[in-house]
Amino acid sequence: MTDWMSQLCTYVGVHAQYRGFDGQTIEVSRDTQVAVLQAMGLDVRSDTDAQVLLRQMQTEDAARPLPPEVVVDAGKLCKLTLARPAEWKLEAEGTGETLARGQAKNKLSLPDLPLGIHRLHLRSDAREFTTWVLARPASAIQLEDHIPEPRIWGVLAPLYGLTDGDAAQIGSYGLLGDYAVAMAAHGADFVGINPVHAMGQARPDDVVSPYSPSHRGLLNTWHCADYDGQAGDETELVDYPTALRNTARALADQFASFCDLPDGAPQRRAFKTYVEWAGIALHEFALFEVLSVSFGADWRTWPAPYRDHDADALAAFETTHKEEIARIKWEQWQADVQLSDAQDRACKAGMRVGLYLDLAVGPRLGGAETWVKDSSLITGATLGAPPDPLGPVGQSWGLAPQSPLKLRSEGYAGFARLLRSVMRHAGMIRIDHVLGLMRSFWIPDGGAEGTYVSYPFDALLAVVAIESARSNTIVVGEDLGLIPEGLREKLAASGVYGLDVLQYMRTTTGGFTDTTKTRRLAICGFATHDTPTVAGFFTAEDARVRHQFGGIDAQTLKKTHADRTRARETLGSSDPVPEIHHQLARANASMVSIQLDDIAERTSQQNLPGTVDSYPNWRLKAPFTVDEIAQSEAFKRLAEDMRAQGRSNPRRMEKKDGLQDCSDHAH
């Protein structure tokens, strides 16, 4: 008997089975299959429904002259093989200009195309079809495009913690520029920070994790400069309620002063230009923000007219909340200007890459990004991870997945816009959980079980390369975890850098992989914000904390201590932090990242996964002030190590012919 439900799952990319962490095949239950299909917007409840829908899809695809998308090389002539004769017309992305047209029986000849996602209209047997033509560059932007002999290093530091001691209550874009200038003086070429996506005025349970944003295409105004000069405090943790309350008050006062400016003032003209550039996306976000203050953080619980985008209800709401909506737009403009200034200052100080920004894997389910009508995101399931030794029941992240069906139908436009917005003021970006471009683990609403959903990986990689070239921005993919076969090879072929984390790269004797044998096309570091620092690793501080609140038992704690002791012994040094940094400096990888916390030999990590209230996640302030970085002996030793390995970029270096000034990224 034919299993139509499983066949439909396979046809649309939903896995009816998958391989678990232990190598065993996991059969996905029928209920989970149905729930995931429904989350994708497919109306199936039975095998009969699945059979009917599958045959409809197969018939539709069989009638197509070409697949839904094709990837071609920009600037090169190309011939496409047709499944059936067709009349065709190719329209340019953005302008709709006709690039070519004609009739073809077997082969369709395309001219050399500019970068972009172009629309190919096809007419065959009196039916209309669309094929998206993704004209990609040979590669995403490479470090070699910025630096003739690419061996560089940079510093990772959470933006919220860059308070310059007690100078501020929370890190700001202005202070980010100050820190970047100080780090550039030691030869660092980039400074990497956590995502700066919009978090939202109203947040469920007062979420502060930068990886649970409301909208990834807009900026977090928490980090706008504190205009009233309100000083911070000497505590080691960010006091979010106080910091955000004072920042909001300061921004409101500044907006009031802005409103008093005459119509022809330069600031008003600049703001108008930004609003016109940002367009409908900014307006929808601003409207959402004001609605959320009235009706709550999760739009799925709003009154139906606002939840369902009733035009009359929204128009009436806008009329009575014009000033609040304008203020949200103005705050976004301020964040954009200040982040641009931070990148400009980093590059003028000598950094050849500058800001290294982060793209979170998804937004909150009930946030602004999922409320938008033309979004490719879905809210009937959450992203997560299948069961493994660290999470025996799996993980549910509360983040919205992208629908592969919606992505294709919109020609990947939303994904391209998202990349463009994150790259706007960045010399380099990191795509969190880049595995999600190939497949993601979905857990349907109300379900305990989930399954993988596959994505059009080649098309998404083409979009990444297109936007990288357009923005002149290097791309790094966080390729950690259970890696699907072929993923790293395809990322490398597309020019996307990988991420090598030394504490995950252990030998059979308990030591670490020889860093001179790491991947060249990668950033090599010791830790991430989710793992122990260097000092914390060798003292097993993470295990001690987990044992303290009952996360692990005494036996696991003892085993962890033994493993870390063995790792330390293999270093051959009584001082592990500088030794690890020395090994990283020697790495084969083009880029090396050093955590600011590690330079200070801090044992506490920024985030301890699996904890909520038992650990101060996303709250640790930076261990250095700006002035202390300039005088730090630890920074000086690190800079000397990097310089000895040919990685350092001396401040105020003489620009060589062809060396790109990364301030060009601040469009």
- Predicted local distance difference test score (pLDDT) of residue 233: 79
What are 6-63's pLDDT values in tens digits?
Answer: 999 999 999 999 998 888 899 999 999 999 999 999 999 999 999 999 999 999 999 9
- For residue 91, the domain's CATH number is 2.60.40.10
The pLDDT assigned to 663 comes to 39
Cα separation, 48 vs 581, whole angstroms: 61
> How many residues can be counted in the chain?
667
> Domain tally for the chain?
2
Alpha helices (H) in 424-522, listed in sequence order: 457-471, 487-493
Kindly report, residue by residue over 269-282, the tens digit of the pLDDT.
999 999 999 999 99
Q: Residue 289, SS3?
A: helix
The pLDDT of residue 227 is above 80:
no
322-344 residue pLDDT tens = 999 999 999 999 999 999 999 99
Residues 74 and 131 in one domain: yes
Q: What is the pLDDT of residue 303?
A: 98
Q: Give the containing element (helix H, strand E) for 569.
A: helix 554-571
**End-of-domain residue from the set 114, 136, 158:** 136
Q: Which of 88, 111, 136 is the last residue of a domain?
A: 136
Cβ-contact 641, 575 below 8 angstroms = no
> Is 30 part of any domain?
yes
Residue 612 pLDDT > 70? yes
Tokens standing for residue 253: 């006062």
Beta-ladder partners of 595: 156
Question: Mind giving me the DSSP string for 215-278?
Answer: EEEEE-GGGS--TT-----S-SB--HHHHHHHHHHHHHHHHHHHHTS-TT-HHHHHHHHHHHHH
For 346, phi then psi, to 5°, come to -60, -45
Q: Is residue 121 part of a domain?
A: yes
Pairing of strands 69-73, 127-136: parallel
In-domain check, residue 123: yes
Question: Nearest-CA neighbor of 251 among 196, 324, 177?
Answer: 324
pTM of the model: 0.95
With bands split at pLDDT 50, 70 and 90, how would you rate the model's confidence at 66?
very high
pLDDT of residue 659: 34
Residues 76 and 126 in one domain: yes
Question: For the segment 498-525, what is each residue's pLDDT rounded down to a tens digit?
Answer: 999 999 999 999 999 999 999 999 999 9
Give yes or no for residue 652 having a pLDDT over 60: no
pLDDT score at 234: 79
Region of poorest pLDDT, from 374-378, 424-428, 593-597, 608-612: 608-612
Which residues have C-beta within 8 Å of that of residue 383, sequence separation ≥ 6?
361, 362, 397, 399, 400, 401, 436, 440, 441, 442, 443
Pairwise pLDDT comparison (446 vs 588), residue with the higher score: 588
Asked if residue 118 lies in contact with residue 92, where contact means CB atoms within 8 angstroms, the answer is yes
pLDDT beyond 80 at 86: yes
Q: What are the backbone angles phi and psi of residue 510, rounded to the nearest 5°?
A: 95, -5
Q: Answer yes or no: is 124 within a domain.
A: yes
pLDDT band at 229 (very low <50, low <70, confident <90, very high): low
Whole-angstrom distance, CA of residue 587 vs CA of residue 514 = 8
Task: Return the H-helix or E-strand segment holding 182.
Answer: helix 173-184
3-state SS class at 54: helix
Mean pLDDT of 371-379: 91
- Weakest mean pLDDT among 2-16, 353-367, 376-390, 557-571: 376-390
Among 29-33, 231-235, 577-581, the least confident range: 231-235
Longest dimension (CA), the chain: 77
| Dist CA 223 CA 214 (whole Å) | 15
Average pLDDT of the residues of the chain: 93
DSSP assignment letter at 664: G
Residue 75 shares a structural domain with residue 57: no
Domain around 24: 4-62
Mean pLDDT along residues 304-324: 97
Give me the percent of the chain exceeding a pLDDT of 70: 96
How far is 313 from 304, CA to CA, in rounded Å?
Answer: 10
Using the predicted structure, report yes or no on whether residue 107 has a pLDDT greater than 90.
yes
In a domain, residue 97? The reply is yes
| pLDDT-based confidence at residue 149 (cuts at 50, 70, 90) | confident
pLDDT at 275: 98
- The count of other CB atoms within 10 Å of the CB of residue 73 is 14
Task: Let me know if residue 87 belongs to a domain.
Answer: yes
CB–CB of 438/455 below 8 Å?
yes
Q: Determine, yes or no, domain membership for 35.
A: yes
Lowest mean pLDDT among 276-290, 377-391, 540-554, 556-570: 377-391
User: Which of 115, 136, 157 corresponds to the end of one domain?
Assistant: 136
Of 16-20, 89-93, 138-142, 430-434, the least confident: 16-20
Residues in CB range of 287: below 8 A, 6 or more apart? 314, 317, 318, 325
The pLDDT value given to residue 497: 98
Which of these, 93, 41, 70, lies nearest to 404 by C-alpha position? 41
Q: Count of CB atoms within 10 A of residue 114's CB? A: 11
Mean pLDDT of 561-574: 94
Q: Tokens 């739009």 appear where?
A: 299
Angle at 612 between CA 558 and CA 246, to 5 degrees: 135
DSSP of 327-385? HHHHHHHHHHHHHHHHHHHHHHTT-SSEEEEEE-S--BTTSHHHHSTT-SB-SSEEEEE
The 3-state secondary structure of 116-164 reads EEEEEEEEECCEEEEEEEEEECCCCECHHHCCCCCCEEEEECCHHHCCC
Amino acid at position 218, single letter: L
Among residues 341, 349, 357, 339, which one has the least CA distance to residue 183? 349
- Judging by beta carbons within 10 Å of its beta carbon (0-12, 13-18, 19+), is residue 351 exposed, middle or buried? buried
Amino acid at 596: L
Read off the pLDDT band of 653 (50, 70, 90): very low
Q: What is the pLDDT of residue 564?
A: 96
Sheet harboring 127-136: ordered strands across? 69-73, 127-136, 116-124, 86-91, 98-104
Computed from CA positions of residues 209, 502, 492, 442, in that sequence, does the dihedral angle turn out positive or negative? Answer: negative
pLDDT tier at 228 (50, 70, 90 boundaries)?
low
Same domain, 102 and 119: yes
For the stretch 627-647, pLDDT in tens is 999 999 999 999 999 999 999
The verdict on residue 119 lying in a domain is: yes
Whole-number Å distance between alpha carbons of 416 and 117: 9
